A and B are shown apart, each in its own frame.
Chain A
Amino acid sequence: MELGPALELHEVSKRYGAQWALVRLSLTLRRGASLLLTGHNGSGKTTLLRVLATAVRPSSGTVRVLGTDAGREPDRVRAQVGLLSHANFVYEDLSGLENLEVLARLLGISVSAAPGALERVSLSPKDDRPIRTYSAGMRRRLALARLFLKQPAVALLDEPFVELDPAGVTELEARIRELHAGGTTLVLATHHIQQGLQLCTDRLHLEQGRPIAA
């Protein structure tokens, strides 16, 4: 039996006050695919990722993630989706390992997986400094380690290359490829179009919340 698409959006719109961030967007993405989102600042990329992650509700339209209606069963969608966002979702006063251990316990997986997730993004589990002492690049790596720990079926990556040095960008590309090779469906929003095109098979260009032929 063939499984349905990973993402299905039908006539999805999102309005913040008088400003439309997404306008009647429809989209279907098959499981295991990789979609590059491009567009200028304010074109709706982040809003689209946040709608898919169920961080915000669309003003109208329906979103289905892996066959589940995101409006009706947001927690079921959240359990299968990982969002790498501008915010890192971490506690500044805890170390990287402590942050991941809290996440592991809340995910119901063994805390012994946490050190491995840190090592996978070249962070040391023995580093007991609080996150507030981390550089921007280290924070980005920790956010990626959170994603590896969760192992989501759908990964939503919002500007993952920001604040990384060239070596960090190369390493992150390799980690994203690993994630995708493991069967994870990818949606990647970035201004680094060359990197994005190398990682993704499909592309959606947004302008003022509307899809435009790139």
Chain B
Amino acid sequence: MRLPGLLASTWVLFRKDLLVEWRSRSRINALVFFSLATLLLFSFALGPDTALLRRNAGGYLWLALLLSSVLALGESFRVERENAALEGLRLIPVDSRAIFLSKGIANAVLLAALGLLLIPVLVALLDVRIVLSWGELLALVGLGCLAIAAPGTLYGAIASHARARDVLLPLLLFPILIPALVAAAKGTALVFEGDPMGQFPSWLTLLGSFDVIYWGLGVVLFPRVIEE
């Protein structure tokens, strides 16, 4: 028996995570309806001022994704808590970094898919237009979702041990995500309204740097979090 390496284990666990998500589609449905409801509520709360709604559309998108991420992250560790599956992985033994990477990437993929679903809704609901290219918007959504997923997966693992885990996760996660949220919302606003000052690359760089730092920290710290 020769245990697979980090990348091979990550791939096996990533496929397993997506399969588990697919099998429990009711959770995905709940996530979609929750994010749509959040978008609608923001629109209703600010009234019929379409110019204001359009200007803030980027912020609504990322707040909807952020709030939905708490549900998705909590759920992804509930699956691992059931039957002590996470402990089972440790005892195989699986490299703990592979567990972090697979779960983080699976969470990012789920959030990115949700983001791509919400963009047409924003276009229809708030009459926003994609002024910059779709490629720039996709890069922003990808990096933004990776930015939520890395600390979210790390804190999701920490919170999963706590009794008040549903409260603890947003308390830990939201303050950390402020720079990423600002960068993602500002960048999305530029995609929707145009970028005459050429600021978009700076926000993208900020998001990318946030990703590098938190994915790096996750790889280092996650093994300590899931050991006893």
Q: Please give the residue numbers on chain A whose beta carbons come within 8 Å of chain B beta carbons, in ascending order.
A: 53-57, 74-75, 78-79, 81, 83, 85, 87-94, 98, 102-103, 105-109, 130, 150-151
Cβ contact within 8 Å between A55 and B91 = yes
Cβ contact within 8 Å between A74 and B16 = no
Q: List 6 A-B contacts (CB under 8 A).
A: A55-B87, A91-B85, A93-B24, A98-B19, A105-B12, A106-B12
Give bound CA distance, A56 to B82, whole Å. Answer: 18
Cβ contact within 8 Å between B12 and A92 = no
Which residue from A89, A98, A102 sits with its C-beta under 8 Å from B91?
A89
Given contacts A103-B92, A106-B94, A107-B92, contact A89 B87 (CB under 8 A): yes
B171 contacts across to A, CB distance below 8 A:
none
Given contacts A79-B93, A89-B91, contact A108 B79 (CB under 8 A): no
A150 contacts across to B, CB distance below 8 A:
92
Given contacts A93-B79, A105-B4, A106-B9, contact A87 B93 (CB under 8 A): no
B90 contacts across to A, CB distance below 8 A:
55, 78
Q: Please give the residue numbers on chain B whose beta carbons come within 8 Å of chain A beta carbons, in ascending order.
A: 1-4, 8-9, 12-13, 16, 19-20, 23-24, 79, 82-85, 87-94, 228
Given contacts A57-B228, A88-B83, A91-B85, contact A78 B91 (CB under 8 A): yes
**Minimum Cβ distance to chain A for residue B18 (Å):** 12
A79 contacts across to B, CB distance below 8 A:
1, 3, 92-93
Cβ contact within 8 Å between A89 and B3 = no
A98 contacts across to B, CB distance below 8 A:
19
Cβ contact within 8 Å between B23 and A109 = no
Give bound CA distance, A84 to B165, whole Å. Answer: 28
Given contacts A56-B228, A75-B93, A93-B79, contact A108 B4 (CB under 8 A): yes
The 6 closest A-B pairs by CB, nearest first: A89-B88, A87-B84, A78-B93, A93-B23, A105-B12, A75-B93
Given contacts A57-B228, A105-B12, A106-B12, contact A92 B82 (CB under 8 A): yes
Cβ contact within 8 Å between B19 and A94 = yes
Known contacts A91-B85, A106-B9; 11 additional CB pairs below 8 A are A78-B92, A79-B1, A87-B88, A90-B88, A91-B20, A92-B82, A105-B4, A106-B12, A106-B89, A108-B3, A109-B1
Give bound CA distance, A93 to B83, whole Å. Answer: 12
Give bound CA distance, A53 to B84, whole Å. Answer: 14
Which residue from B1, B24, B88 sits with its C-beta under 8 Å from A108?
B1
**Minimum Cβ distance to chain B for residue A49 (Å):** 11
Which residue from B19, B84, B92 sits with its C-beta under 8 Å from A85?
B84
A88 contacts across to B, CB distance below 8 A:
83-84, 88
Cβ contact within 8 Å between A106 and B4 = yes
Give bound CA distance, A87 to B80, whole Å. Answer: 12
Cβ contact within 8 Å between B16 and A107 = no
Give bound CA distance, A56 to B84, whole Å. Answer: 13
